[in-house]
Structure formats: C-alpha cells, structure tokens
Amino acid sequence: MSDACHRHDVLILGSGAAGLSLALRLPETLSVAVVSKRELREGSTLYAQGGISAVLDAGDSIESHVQDTLKAGAGLCDRAVVRHVVERGPDNIRWLLDQGVEFTRDTEHGAGATGGYHLTREGGHTHRRVIHAADATGRAIATTLEGQVRDRANVTLYEQHIAVDLITARHLPGYGEHRCLGAYILDLGSGRVETFLARFVVLATGGANKVYLYTSNPDVSTGDGIAMAWRAGCRVANMEFMQFHPTCLYHPQARSFLVTEALRGEGARLLLPDGERFMPRFDPRAELAPRDIVARAIDHEMKRLGSECVYLDISHRPADFVIEHFPTIHARCLELGIDITREPIPVVPAAHYTCGGVMVDRQARTDLPGLYASGETAYTGLHGANRMASNSLLECLVYSEAAAADIVRLSSEVPPPPEVPNWDESRVTEPDEEVVVTHNWDELRRFMWDYVGIVRTNKRLRRAKRRADLLAQEVIEYYSNFRVGNDLIELRNLLEVADLIIQSALRRRESRGLHYTLDHPLKDAGQRTPTILIPDAYQPRKGE
C-alpha cells in the first residue's frame, strides 16, 4: 500500500496548451500541481503545426468566423458557444503574445491590418485568420508556456506520472457531498501509486487518437481523461466524431508526422500517383474543403486505385517561400530524401482529433462538482460534427481561462478534501504475461482502424463492439490481479474510449460530418442533436 499523499488547491492532469495556460492564469496564492505523463511539453500541442484561428484582420469579422465554424460543424455546433469562443479569440492571442510566444511576422506587407503578423488560410475558412509560428506553432506555444510555468513558485510539476483514476466521494462511504477529491497517480519512476488530493481537479489530458492504428498524435493520446471521467460518472458526447487529418507523411521512417493543412492553404495540390489533381471532382472548394471531405476523398481514391498513398505538391511555389513558411516539413522531408521544393510529398489520412469528449458547461465544469475539463478532453459544443482547422488551440485557451476564473471565484468556498484511503496493492502481484497487454493493444488499434474508421457500416460497428467487449473482459481480469503499469493503464482507458466511440456511432443512423456510414449515407434532419452517453454512476448536479 502506498503511503505518499500530496495536497494542492488545484490538480491539473495534462501539460499541453490547456493545462499550462490554466496553471499560468491561476493566482500565485493557490498551490497548483501539474501532472504530465512524460516530459512536460510532450503532448499534442507540441506537434501542432498550423496555428490558431482568430479574427485579427480588418477585412475579416467575428460573424464570418462564426459562420465558417457552424458550416464545418454540419449542423451540430452550439451556436452560442461558437460565438463565445470566436469573440474571445483576439484577447487570447494577445495573452499568448504577452507570455512571449513569437508568431511569424508579415515581412511582405508590414504592420498593415493584421498588426504585423502573417495570417494563413486553412480548410473551411473563408479568410486568412490563422496566426502561426512558421509551421511549428504548437512547439512555440508549448516551449514558451513551459518556460513560464517552471518559474512559478506556486506550481509543482510532476513529470513521468500517469493518473490511474479519479478520487470521488464514493471512495469515502458516508461522505455527504458528491464531488471530485483528487486522483490516484502512478509515479513511473518509483512504480508506486500515490494519492493526490485537491479542492479542484482539471482534466487536460488531450484526445484519444491512439485508439487507431494510424494517427498523427504522439503516444500519450490515449483518452485517459475521457475514460476516467466516464468511470467517475460524467456524461460524454459526440464520441463518434473522430477527425482524420487528410495528410500525414507516408514513409516507413516517419511515424506520425503531420503535414500541416497550411500547405494547402498556400496552394498545395493533392495528386494521384499519375499526377492527376482529384479534389475538384469531390468539392468546389477543392483542397480547401473541410477535413472530413478531403480525408474521405483521399480514402476513396486510394481504395479505388489500390494505392498506398496520394501526393501533396507545393513545388510550383517559389522554393524560398516554401522553405521560409514550412521549415519543419522541409527539413524533415529532406532527411527522408524528399525535396518538397521540387517533388510532391507522399501522404495518407490518419486519426487526428477527438471532437467529442467529457461534457462541460461554459465554465468548463463537468457533471462532477470539483472536476473541470479543457481542450481535446472536453466536449464544449464548439466543433459539432467536424472541427474546423486551427479552432482547437483557441478552444484550449478560452476554456482554460474560464476554468481558472471559476476556480478563483469558488476558492474561498470549497474546503480541502478529507483523508481518503490510499491505493491498495495488497492483493495484486507482478504481471506475469505482459504479452497479453501488447497483443490486446495491437488488436484494438487494428480493428478500430478497419471497422470504425473513415467509412463505417453497421456490420463493421457490431463486429467492433463484440471484439471490444471481449478485450475489455480480459483487461478487467488482468487489471484486478496484477500491479498497474503505464501500458495497462493506457490500454484500459483506450478500451473504454473505443467502446464509447462504437456505441455513439451505432446510435447515429445517418452520415454527418466526420461520421460517414454506407448504410445511412444521407443526413437526417431529425438527428441534429448531440449523441450523449450517460454512465451508470451519473448523478445530476444540484438544481438540474
């Protein structure tokens, strides 16, 4: 049994843009813990290339950004949420600038209407409104916020730690108030599960795209926050809407390397192996159509031709322009023998973004008092059936700002949590068959790719549900008998999330946005509502 217990005012699980921006927005009078599964900066934010969408050009407008987002969301966005997030965009960009993020300057036009920053355009946007740091915006944000948070005296950083489960009032029989009290967290260095207690807990653990065989996401994107919140009694919504990025580099030595949508925003064309441009046949916006349309078009052409990939070509633009705007992609491709200034890039679609997640309100509060969620972990209503490019980092900032404000407002009212039982390992043993975890991990990601991918059918979904149920039983047995480790925790969470995705997809008997099924290829106006799943442990908040 572990006897280590840590107490803080705020416990933040996750260290991407959502988690770190929240930590920096809390006053130094509150003690804050930031828990990261790997190094602090390792997460999806670090690998985000494109940028952040915000209305920064005098020729653009809030209304235009709102309408573009609503259109991309295919009728499922919450209109009030969309407007709220878009209106908060310019202020949040100014906040990042104040933190020291260095966005790319517009060397051609000077200060002009954009304040001197270069704006690019991506799929679904009718204006140039994506501010960026070359083609490594996420890295600029992650490293800047990391530097700031490491200097905060009130913030304690726990790297190489992974949450096992949330601690709730259910762990204290007789405790009156239904709320979140903290989390059990595995120290990957010592192998001990330690108790973290906090008055407020924030899930900022990112998405769940490692549930698929091919993904642009880093290995840490295993749906931990969504799975833990579900087990703790929080509703989830719209889990069927998993976004597949159309263009990941196709190369045996380039695992999970994203080729930013900004290339297409600057004129890159998608080509078949014979050099034919094909996107105009699928949508009048061609390469600038929303991601779901582009991904399905690529998937269709690859299957029609039996091709392993298609090609993205920007070699018709001046070499100096390409190198200046896309230095990361240019350098990485050169390492692999591809000169993007002279030849096209081989690309394939890959799982990229979880549009659904834990349901939260405008203050980022979940169904469980004391528990917040921000970023890709959360379902806010912004994205609807499809996320428009570069709205995700903006959502992280807006909802972390809201969570911080709500925590400050309530900080004088919420007492410290009581003592809770430590993690009990007295009846478990060391794992004796790690091959079970490895095999089940591989099988899960493969059948999710084959049966619950870009194009679905009822038969494929039912087959996936049977396989997920069988694997879940095996993992429950394994989890009950053996000491927990990183791989087992992540597999348990991925299986939970896989089941939520499959359940949600089976309920949506239409094709809308990112959910496309051959059995129901048309939209159904009667299904213009979110898909909400309610766990057995759900308890409505007081007054609801």
The vertex-445 CA angle with 440 and 446, nearest 5°, equals 100
For CA atoms 491, 496, 502, 508, give the dihedral sign: negative
Closest CA to 164 of 470, 422, 477, 534: 422
Catalytic residue among 41, 88, 139, 291: 291
H-only helix segments in 100-223: 137-150
CA 44 to CA 379: how far, in whole Å?
Answer: 17
Determine how β-strand 345-354 pairs with β-strand 310-313. antiparallel
Cβ atoms of 347 and 363 closer than 8 Å: no
Cα separation values, 5 from 38, 53, 154, 194, 195, Å: 21, 41, 18, 6, 5
Cα separation values, 538 from 13, 138, 226, 234, 235, Å: 21, 35, 14, 6, 7
Cβ atoms of 315 and 341 closer than 8 Å: yes
Q: Work out the burial of residue 335: count CB atoms within 10 Å of its CB; fewer than 13 is exposed, 13-18 middle, 19 or more buried.
A: exposed
Structure tokens at 176: 């009156």
Closest CA to 81 of 395, 387, 315: 395
Active site residue 291: yes
Angle between helices 224-231 and 486-507 (to 10 degrees): 70
CA 358 to CA 179: how far, in whole Å?
Answer: 16
Q: Which residue has the tokens 């509060």?
A: 365
Structure tokens at 167: 């601690």
b or e along 459-493 (b: 16 or more beta carbons within 10 Å of the residue's beta carbon)?
A: ebbebbbebbeebbeebeebeeebebbbebbbbbb
Q: Work out the burial of residue 418: count CB atoms within 10 Å of its CB; fewer than 13 is exposed, 13-18 middle, 19 or more buried.
A: exposed
Catalytic residues: 291
